[in-house]
Amino acid sequence: MTAAPSKIYIPRDTTACSLGADRVAEVIQQHIRKHQLALEIVRNGSRGLYWLEPMLEFETEQGRVACGPITPEKADEFMAAACWRNIDKHPLYLGLTEEIDYLKKQQRLTFARVGIIAPTSLEDYCRHGGFAGLRTALAMKPQAIISCVTDSGLRGRGGAAFPTGIKWQTVL
C-alpha cells in the first residue's frame, strides 16, 4: 500500500449497528480527533456480507479495500497501532472490496450503490450518476418524453396495469 487512506467507510445499517458498528465509529472518531488525523469517516450501507460486520472499507490509491469483522476493541487496537497505514498487513484484511468472492460474482441492480456512497450525501449521489435521467428529461420536449415512456412499456401498478404513456398523453 503506497499511501494511507483518506476515508474510512463504516456501515450504518441495523445488522452492522447491532454488531457494534456505531461503537467502532465512535472509537475511530476519538482517535482521529485526539491525533488530528487526516481521515474522514463515511457512514454508509452494508454490502451485505453480514458475517464480516462491522466490515470497514478504506479508500486507497488501489481502490476500496475491506477489513473485518472489526469489533470496538479491535478498532481501538487498530487505530492505536496505526494499522490503517499498512492495512494490507492486518490479519483482518480482506483485499479489494470488489474482489471479495461473494461480491465479485454479483451484478447488483437495485442496490448497486449500497455500501459505495453515503446515503444522505447529494454530492455522492450526483457523482455516481444521480439525476442523469432528470437532466435528460429536462432537455426533451414533452411529446418526446411521452414517446419514451410509451416505448418503454411502463405500466401503472393498479389492477388494470394501465399504460403510463397513454395516461400521460391524455393530459398533454
Instruction: Name the 3-class secondary structure at 82.
Output: coil
Q: What is the pLDDT of residue 51?
A: 95
Based on the fold, state whether residues 80 and 19 are members of the same structural domain.
yes
pLDDT over 70 at 5, yes or no? no
Residue 82 sits in which domain range? Answer: 7-126
For the chain, what is the domain count?
A: 2
pLDDT digits (tens, 9 = 90+) for 66-94: 999 999 999 988 888 777 777 888 889 99
Based on the fold, state whether residues 31 and 106 are members of the same structural domain.
yes
- 33 sits in which H/E element: helix 21-35
**CA 7, CA 50: separation in Å to the nearest integer?**
21
162 within a domain of the structure (yes/no): yes
Based on the fold, state whether residues 77 and 162 are members of the same structural domain.
no
Q: What is the pLDDT of residue 4?
A: 62
Mean pLDDT over 134-146 rounds to: 95
Based on the fold, state whether residues 121 and 135 are members of the same structural domain.
no
In contact, 74 and 92? CB cutoff 8 Å: yes
Mean pLDDT over 130-154 rounds to: 94
119 within a domain of the structure (yes/no): yes
1 within a domain of the structure (yes/no): no
Q: What is the pLDDT of residue 143?
A: 96
User: pLDDT averaged over the chain?
Assistant: 89
In contact, 146 and 169? CB cutoff 8 Å: yes
Q: What is the pLDDT of residue 3?
A: 56
Give 2's pLDDT tier (boundaries 50, 70, 90).
very low
CATH classification of the domain holding 82? 3.40.30.10
Angle between helical axes of 21-35 and 72-80 (0-180°, round to 10) = 20
In contact, 46 and 19? CB cutoff 8 Å: no
**CA 125, CA 113: separation in Å to the nearest integer?**
9
Based on the fold, state whether residues 32 and 14 are members of the same structural domain.
yes
Based on the fold, state whether residues 107 and 159 are members of the same structural domain.
no
